[in-house]
Structure 1
Amino acid sequence: MHLQTLKSPLPCSDAALRAVSPGEARAIFQNPRGRPNRSVLLRPQLAVSCKGNGIAVVDSGSSSGRSPYCCREEERARKAGKVVDVATLGNLCVDIVLNVPELPPDPFEERLAYMERLAASRPDKKFWEAGGSCNLAIAAARLGLRCITLGHVGKEIYGRFLLDVLHDEGIDMVEMDREAENNVTSAYETLLCWVLVDPWHRHGFCSRADFSEDPAFSWMTNLSGEVRIAIKQTKIIFCNGYVFDELSPRLISTTVEYAIDVGTAVFFDPGPRGKTLLHGTLEQQRALQILLLKSDVLLLTSEEASSLTGITDPILSGQELIRRGVRTKWVIIKMGPKGSILITRQKIFFAPGLKVEVVDTVGCGDSFSAAIVYGFLHGMTAINTLALANAVGASTAMGCGAGRSVATLDKVLELLKNPYPYEEDNFWDKMVNENSTKNDITLLSTAATHGKQNRVSCVSMQRVVSELLPALCEVGKGRIVGVIRLHVSLWLLRESSTSEPRSELGETAIGLEIFSSA
């Protein structure tokens, strides 16, 4: 029996369609599927506005953990032309999800032979799913964020599949290398990741990137004009450790430094690759240090934080990362089903996880991260951000697989309306007791009351949920209109570009070249 992924259709209502003019509606259906051959320049006067999503920079001097978000910041973002909420960097792949009697062997040669046998014949499309950074992008889009992906996919059937999935979720892609469009060699093909599940629901992963010393797309050497423009128009660029499997450390470093120069916040989740990169080549070590020191937000599991700092205690390791950081505002420690921790330079925030019937944990971390992005951009308090992230991650765990099976907004709302926090082994009571003598702590509490005692502030789950639900319900009402208007604007820009000579793209160009699967 194969692992089934469920494709969630974009909700549509008559009211939403009425919000778009007849001319705009006709434009949607005139927009052909497949990647256009010409560029589309998003000019500021035609760009889609992102209501309520300004650049939020967390004040390291704030004791509340709240991002200072206000009309001034939103206006600054608008004037800067930052109309995209989040862009993912690289790691665009198609997951092939298969049940297998046993996971692949560990020895290099045997593992390579195992993958080659899998790849010898194309698996049925029912086993395909969008993977890698697509998980975060899809989860973020379902929370109402404007998303793009920066990366490369091939022109073969897998690349077309991936672009179709992103298109259906309202996500656009910027090709990182224009020359790649005309190259059909295997080095330019879409990356496949074989996600193997044994009878005990343990996961194994393998792709061609695992068997090469060089990144899969090592032929990418420069940051193109199109990508620079995309980053300029983006509020947050999100990187994970798997981007090193595709792009050279030098190109990753250049991208991060450029993002910082143009006022784009950097989020980094090193994942399991962090430990190997720490002991990798000099270029890998340098790029890793740039990301660790200069990211605005770091997201790690407790094990990953320990491997990067040599400190086993999750609080102390998180504090060490934020102490080293030049720009770091938040360090998020993911504690699995137990919940999560957010550390600032002044405070610590604890949020117990939610009890759910776990079906599959693939994609939970990416979904969790999407909600952190949402909270950061919307100026939510740290404790509310963690509560939302826990709910989004738990909702994904209730489904099968990642990609289109990551949490939907409806599932998140349903879970928040009936939350059952993790309370086993008095885990969070112990965490509070061990850390409250030296730190100011805010705890998401199951108790109906809230208040402060000594250095511990308790915020009730009931109160947090009452603050989250109205905002999330508005996301559900407004998303379809926003997605339609985004694609309408893209179509209008395509049409306008046909009557004008193509502009030279460079550092001073305004606009964003987007290759849409629409």
Structure 2
Amino acid sequence: MPSFDVSSVGFLVLDILGRPVTRIPDGGRADYIDEIRMTVAGTAGATGMDCAILGLKTRMVSCVGEDELGDFLLAKMQGYGMETSMVRRDGRAQTSATILPVRPNGERPALHVPGSAALFSLEEADYAAALDADIVHIGGTGLLKAFDGEPTLAFIKAAKAAGRTTTFDLIQANPETVELVKPLLPYIDYFIPSIEEAEEMSGRKGAEDVARFFKDHGVKNAILTLGGAGVYVDPATGDPFRLPAYDIDVVDTTGCGDSFSAGIIVGLSKGWELRECARFASAVAAKVALGLGSDGKLASFEDTIDAMKNWSTKEVA
């Protein structure tokens, strides 16, 4: 029996966020804003962190630099109860980091240093420990230069051979990214990209057509996040369905997709039907969007269940 509920593998980054930012001041002058935070982030990092906040036993598998940014990430993850023995330290690059000036409407342009994420990879000798979980989440394809392509394919094949459930998300996808992703698709049980990334990769428009593209290429369950429009799910069995987003006042959209993946993983770990997983994941993302950073106002499983049951949703278009 695996030791962990989830192993979160791949892209880990330190986010430095400030809000609200409406402009970059002229010259060397300063503007005053309400809040600045540093957070654990990334398509694997934030998802793993949110899984831990929601009560899952979580192993993080990634890479950071030998610097104070890496010290911060390790301390924060350990503070959330995450197991970090497979977060390798590599002095060849600084820890991956992003500066995010968050606009008043919650949008966040990014200034990013790829850093240590580009050095992350796994040897076959690492597989047993990295796969010591019921669910294996891979996040960050496209920014994991040493791991993208054949290394990721070998690892996800090993995950399926070991009987693991696989979930998958990526970041900053474009039409070129699909060539990295296509070989992986038959081994992905739950594919959870944003609609924008999925459209870029597939060259198609509209959730129904995009989801069908990925299912035709082997994905078992296609789950497309639609931002304020909710989520579209084309499951392995049964009819596709949509769920609306929760009706909230958005503070920051950073990490909402990562937290949605965490919600799906938590639901799967509890044996829920996929519709209930998606409802819960939408509540997780809403909790994150209420605050600054990848954890936002996410507090606990029980608090999120209460929101799922009692918060109003938007009207379905």
TM-score band by shorter chain is: 0.7 to 0.9
Structure-1 residue corresponding to 2:175? 275
2:111 corresponds in structure 1 to 206
Q: How many residues align?
A: 303
CA contact (8 A) 1:341 1:386 kept: no
The one-letter code matched in structure 2 to 1:91 is F
Between stretches 359-368 and 255-264, larger displacement belongs to 255-264
Change (3 A) 1:88 1:277: same
Q: Which has the larger radius of gyration?
A: 1
> For 1:168, which of 72, 79, 82 is the aligned residue?
79
Structure 2 unaligned regions, length at least 5: 29-35
Q: Match for residue 87 of structure 1? A: 7
Q: Cα deviations across residues 213-232 of structure 1 (Å, max 9, x unaligned)?
A: x97317x5x5152x212233
Alignment partner of 1:194 is 2:99: yes
Amino acid at match of 2:12: L
Q: Which ranges of 4 or more aligned residues in structure 1 deviate by more than 6 Å?
A: none
Alignment root-mean-square deviation, CA: 2.7
Aligned residue runs from structure 1 range 205-224, under 5 A: 205-209=110-114, 216-217=118-119, 220=121, 223=123
Find the residue that maps to 1:399 and give its secondary structure: coil
Counterpart contact for 2:13–2:96, Cα < 8 Å: yes
Match of 1:266 among 157, 166, 176: 166
One-letter amino acid of the counterpart of residue 224, structure 2:
I
Q: CA deviation at 1:262?
A: 1.9
Distance (whole Å) between structure 1 residues aligned to residue 40 and residue 183 of structure 2: 29
The answer for the alignment partner of 1:48 in structure 2 is none
Aligned to 1:141: 52
Deviation at 1:364, TM superposition (A): 1.2
Select the structure that is richer in strand: 2
Inter-partner Cα distance in structure 2 for 1:103 and 1:290: 42
TM-score normalised per structure 2: 0.85
Q: Cα distance, 1:389 vs. partner?
A: 1.0
Matched residue type, 2:119:
F
Quote the offset at 1:259 in angstroms: 1.7
- Offset from partner CA, 1:280-311 (integer Å, 9 cap, x none): xxxxx2x3212223211111222323223232
Evaluate the alpha carbon distance shift between residue 202 and residue 320 of structure 1 in structure 2; reply closer, same or farther with a 3 A threshold.
closer
Q: Distance in 1 between matches of 2:188 and 2:263?
A: 17
**What residue identity is the alignment partner of 1:96?**
I
> Within 5 Å, which residues of 2 pair with 1:52-451?
78=1, 82-98=2-18, 102=23, 127-132=37-42, 133-175=44-86, 181=89, 184=91, 187-198=92-103, 201-209=106-114, 216-217=118-119, 220=121, 223=123, 225=125, 227-242=126-141, 244-249=143-148, 250-278=150-178, 285=179, 287-325=180-218, 328-345=219-236, 346-403=238-295, 405=296, 407-409=298-300, 411-423=303-315, 426-427=316-317
Is the CA contact (8 Å cut-off) linking 1:332 and 1:342 kept in structure 2?
yes
| Change beyond 3 A, Cα 1:337–1:162 | same
Measured in 2, the distance between the counterparts of 1:398 and 1:215 equals 28
What corresponds to 1:46 in structure 2?
A: none
Structure 1 residue 417, shift from structure 2 partner? 4.0
- 1:337 shift after superposition: 1.8
More displaced, 345-354 or 93-102? 93-102
Task: State TM-score, norm by structure 1.
Answer: 0.54
Cα 1:366/1:348, change in 2 over 3 Å: same
Residue type at the aligned position of 2:112: S
Per the alignment, residue 490 of structure 1 pairs with none
Q: Secondary structure, in 3 states, of the residue corresponding to 2:138?
A: strand
Q: Which moved more, 1:295-304 or 1:253-262?
A: 253-262
- Ranked by relative contact order (alpha carbons within 8 Å, sequence separation 6 or more), the top structure is 1
Native 8 Å contact 1:159 1:190 kept in 2 = yes
Q: For residues 359 and 98 of structure 1, what CA distance do their matches in structure 2 show?
A: 11
Larger helix percent = 1
Q: Distance in 1 between matches of 2:24 and 2:160?
A: 41
| Residue of structure 1 equivalent to 2:31 | none
Structure 1: give runs of 5+ residues left out of the alignment.
Answer: 1-77, 105-116, 118-125, 279-284, 428-518
User: What secondary structure sits across from 1:319 in the alignment?
Assistant: helix
Q: For 2:78, what is the secondary structure of its paired residue?
A: helix
Residues 253 and 203 from structure 1, CA distance in 2 versus in 1: closer, same or farther, beyond 3 angstroms?
Answer: same
Is this contact kept in 2: 1:86–1:237, CA < 8 A? yes
Change (3 A) 1:261 1:414: closer
State the Cα deviation string for residues 3-59 of structure 1 (Å, max 9, x = none): xxxxxxxxxxxxxxxxxxxxxxxxxxxxxxxxxxxxxxxxxxxxxxxxxxxxxxxxx
Contact 2:105/2:251 (CA < 8 Å) preserved in 1?
Answer: no
Distance 1:102 1:306, change over 3 A: same
Cα distance per residue 1:466-499 (max 9 Å; x no partner): xxxxxxxxxxxxxxxxxxxxxxxxxxxxxxxxxx
Is the 1:368–1:389 Cα contact (8 Å) retained in structure 2?
A: yes
